[in-house]
Amino acid sequence: MQPQHIAICGNIGSGKTTLAQKLSKHYGWQALLESVDDNPYLRDFYGDMNRWAFHVQMYFLNSRFKQVNKIRATNDKTTVQDRTIYEDAYIFATNLHSSGFMSERDFQSYLDTFHSMIAYVQPPDLLIYLKADIPKLVRQIEKRGRDYEYAIRIDYLRNLNEHYEQWINNYTSGKLLVIDVNNLDFVTRIDDFAHIVSKIDLELNSLFNQAS
């Protein structure tokens, strides 16, 4: 029995999209990538977080909910998803609120919508967390050259990492694989990618044995 939903989570610049694409090619999975460039609020958000925080997060939340429904409606193939609906709420919206960029009123409205959606969401069969420290994230962000991301502050990335650690340490919704990517370059080094694949294979075998 093959898994239906594999999800990759991690901070901005941790390598989620690239890994999703490589795993898609390696395993023959369908890749469902985060619609970053399609978000009409993102560029405005990085220029004025206070004004656009609620808008940008609501767009991502709705987009992710559509993705999850699409994944579960596709029964005949495995989908690898770049970022999860949980991160939208527990990491990004929570961080914006605690950092003063999202008002209490907007945050509560956001959470109400999230909790209404999450009642209809099944967790992924396997969640892969790419753990990366700030220097690694900054290098990756600079390398991909999205001009609107140049405004991202170090303390913003650091706060996100803290929220990720808290969430991952308390994650109990399904199988979890944590991969420290600080010293890995799975794009240019074949051995590093093979190392990740071997870890995923162990988890997939475990899932298969549980289903048998």
CA distance 167 to 153: 22
Q: Which of 95, 86, 141, 153 is nearest to 117 (CA)?
A: 86
Q: Give the global pTM.
A: 0.89
Angle at 71 between CA 157 and CA 131, to 5 degrees: 25
Domain CATH code at residue 72: 3.40.50.300
- Beta-strand runs (E) in 57-163: 79-82, 126-131
**119 is in which domain, residue-wise?**
5-211
The residue whose two tokens read 């475990």 is: 206
What is the structure's pLDDT at 146? 59
Q: Point out the catalytic residue in the list 38, 44, 48, 82.
A: 82
Element (H, E) at 56: helix 49-73
What is the structure's pLDDT at 184? 94
CA distance 40 to 53: 12
- From residue 203, how far is each of 27, 129, 159, 208, 209 by CA, in Å? 14, 13, 29, 9, 10
Q: Give me 195's structure tokens.
A: 């190392």
Residue 48 designated active-site: no
DSSP H helical ranges for 100-170: 104-118, 134-144, 154-169
What is the structure's pLDDT at 153? 72
Length of the chain: 212
Question: Mean pLDDT per 10-residue run, the chain (212 residues)?
Answer: 89 92 95 78 86 94 90 85 94 94 97 96 95 91 63 80 96 95 93 96 84 55
* Structural domains counted in the chain: 1
